[in-house]
Amino acid sequence: MSDREEIKKEPENVDDESSKGRLFSTQDISDLQQKLEDAVQNTTNSADDDPPEVSSALAQTQEALKAEVDKDLSEKKAQSEEKAQDSEIAENTESQVDTGEFEDKVDKAMQKIVADTAGEEPVSQPIQPVRPYARYRAMRGIPEPARIQGKAPYKMKKKYKGLKIAGITTAMLVVLAGCVYGAGTYYFSNKFFVGTSINGIDCSQMTASEVENMIARKVENYSIEVKARDQEPQIIEGSSIDYQYVPDGAVDKLLDKQKPYKWVQGFFKDTTYTAEENISYDKQKLKDQMMSLNCAKEENQVAPANAYVAFQDNQFVIVPETEGSKLEIKKAYQTLKDAVADSVNEVDFSAQPVYQKAEVTQDDPNLAKTLEECNNYTKASITYTFGDQTETLDANTIKDWLQFDENGQVINDEAAFRQKITEYVAGLAQRHDTLGTNRTITATSGRTVTVGGGEYGWQINQSAEVEQLYSEITTGQTVTREPNYSSYGRVHGENDIGNTYIEVDLSAQHMYFYQDGSIIFDSEFVSGNMSYSDRATPTGVYSLYYKKSPDVLRGKKLPDGSYEYESPVTYWMPFCGGVGFHDANWRSSFGGDIYLTNGSHGCINLPPAKAAELYNIIDTGIPILMFY
C-alpha cells in the first residue's frame, strides 16, 4: 500500500462527523501538540547547564517554533473544514495534503534551535534529533522523512572554560606589566634613564648629586697646554689658578626635563647631554700665569711685514707677508680665559686671531688685483695691421710704462699709465694717418699735379684707440687687428689712393675713371660757377658717400620754408658735403669755359647718358681727386 493510500485511512477513535475529509482529527492535533511540548521540554532540559545567554536564546527559539507550529495547525484545520462542506466530494476525493512538507519545516526549525544555541563545533558521537511526530507517523504508518545526519551537540562547557582561562591569564599579565611599568616610573623619577651620558660621563641610573660628584672628580686634575708661534708648548696647572667645579643646578634641570613614564625608551635609545660646567678659578692668577709664558715675553715679540708685488725674473710675483710673533695681550688672555671656562685642555694661539697682523697680506684682494694687472701687462700682445705692414705692442714696451717704488712694489697710478698709452697711440697715428696729406700724381693730361686737403685718407680715432688699448693691456689679451679709424682710405701705404680712382680736372672740365690703372669712363662736365666765390667746386681728395636714383637736389632753406632751388635728378652721387655728380638734362652743352660764368652751384653736371653710365660702375668709397 502506498503512503498516500495510508493517509486516506481515518483514525478509529474519531466519531465526529465534522472530521470527515480533514487531514488531522481533533485527537491527532492534541497528540501533536503534546509531542511538541515534550520535545520542547527535552530541549529545555538539555540546555539547563548552558550559560544564561545561551539558555535565553534557546527559549526564544522554542517560543518561535511553537508559534509557527500553532499557525500551521490552524491553517490545516481551516482547510479541512472547508473541504468537509461538500461531504460527497470529500468522500470520493483523495486527500492531497503532503505531510512530508510540513514535517520538513518542523525538522528545519529544530535544526535552527541547535545551530543558534550550540554553534558549529561537532563531537564524536551524533545526536538523535527530537521527533515530535514519531507517534503520529507510527499510528498512520507513514515513514519518517530523511534527516540530516552528522550534526552533533557542542561542547559548550569546554569551550567557555578555555576562554575563561585565557582571560584570567591575560588579566594577570596586564596587571603584572602595569606593576613593572609603575615601579620603573617611580624608580626613574629621580634617576637618569639607562643610556644617558652628560659631558662624556655615563650617568645611567644615577641621581643628580651622583652625577655632580662625578663631574667634580673629573676637574680635580685639570690642566691646559698653551701652544704659541715659534715657541715650545707650556702647561698651566688648574691648581695654580684655584680651578674647581661649583654645582649650579644644571644637572638637576636636565633630570627635571626627563619624563619618568618614558623610562622604557632608555633601553632602546641613548641620550647625550651637554651641561655647562660651572667652573670657578682666580682670573688674576690665570693672567699672571699667561704673562709668565715665553710667548708673552717682550724679547720674543716680532712685528709682521706687509706683502707686496715685485718684478722678479722677468715676471711679476707676490712676496708674502711676514707673520711675526707679536701677541695682542688682551686677545690672547680672552682666548685663554674662554678655554679655561670651557674646561678645554689645549689652546693654540697660532690658530687664533691673537697676533698682530700685517696690513697687507698675500691674499689681499687689492694686491691680487695689482698682480693680475701687472701680469696682464706683460701678457698682452696687440698686433696692428696696416695693409701688408704690421706693428706689435708687447711686454718689451709695456714693462717700461710701469712704475715701482724703492721696495720693488708696483705704483698703481692709472692716470700715468693711460698717459703712456696716449703717447703711444699718438705716435701710431703720426706714422700711419694719411687724411689731409698731399698726393702727387701724373694727370691724364701729362702734367704732374699735387692734390692736398679733402676728406679722403686714413685717420686713427685716437681717443677710441686709447680706451680699447688700455682694456686689452689690463686684461692681458693677445689680438691682431686694425686701429680704430675715424676716416678710411682705399689702400694702405704712402700711396693710399691705389690704381682705382676718379680724376676730375676742373681746368679742363673733363673727368676720367681709372680701374686697376686703366681708363674705363670719361666725360665732359660743367662744374661750379666761378663768378660766385661760394659756388666754386672745391679741390682735394674725397671718396664717394653713396649713390641714389632718383633724388631732388635742394639749395638753402629760405625763411618762408621754401628752398633756394629744387632740381630733380635721376642719378645722384655725392662726395663732398652737398657736392656730387649728377645728370643735368636742362643743359645742352658741357665742357669748355661754361663753368666760368654759367656754372653750377658747385656740383659736377654730367650729360644724362654719361651720368647713367657712371652710376652703374661707381661704388662707395672710391677715391675722387679734384684739382685745377
Q: What residues have CB less than 8 Å from 1, skipping those under 6 apart?
A: none
Q: Residue 287: how many CA atoms within 13 Å on its side-chain side?
A: 8
**Range 68-74, long-range pairs (CB < 8 A, 24+ positions):** 68/105, 68/109, 69/32, 69/33, 69/36, 69/106, 69/109, 72/102, 72/105, 73/24, 73/29, 73/32, 73/33
Indicate the residue type of 183: A
- Compute the distance between CA of residue 502 and CA of residue 27 in angstroms, rounded to an integer: 156
- Compute the distance between CA of residue 514 and CA of residue 4 in angstroms, rounded to an integer: 147
Q: What residues have CB less than 8 Å from 31, skipping those under 6 apart?
A: 135, 136
Contact 391, 423 (CB under 8 A): no
The residue among 394, 374, 376 whose CA lies nearest residue 384 is: 394
The CA-based angle 383-386-392, given to 5 degrees, is 20
The residue among 425, 451, 543 whose CA lies nearest residue 491 is: 543
Cell numbers representing residue 433 in the block: 694717418
Please give the backbone phi and psi of residue 439, each rounded to the nearest 5 degrees, phi first: -115, 130
Describe the crossing of helices 26-46 and 52-84 by its angle, rounded to 10 degrees: 170
- 444 has which bridge partners? none
Contact 227, 236 (CB under 8 A): no
- Helices within 119-191 (DSSP H only): 134-140, 156-187
Q: Does 510 qualify as catalytic in the annotation?
A: no
Q: Which of 203, 374, 582, 601 is catalytic?
A: 582
Q: What residues have CB less than 8 Å from 376, skipping those under 6 apart?
A: 473, 474, 475, 476
Contact 6, 140 (CB under 8 A): yes
DSSP 130: P
The residue among 436, 434, 429 whose CA lies nearest residue 460 is: 429
Q: Does 432 qualify as catalytic in the annotation?
A: no
Q: % helix / strand / coil in the chain, to the nearest 5?
A: 40, 20, 40
Q: Which of 295, 374, 576, 603 is catalytic?
A: 603
Beta strand 223-228 with 346-348 is parallel
DSSP string, 349-398: GGGTT-B---SS-TT-HHHHHHHHHHHHHHH-EEEEEETTEEEEE-HHHH
Looking at the annotation, which residues are catalytic? Answer: 582, 603
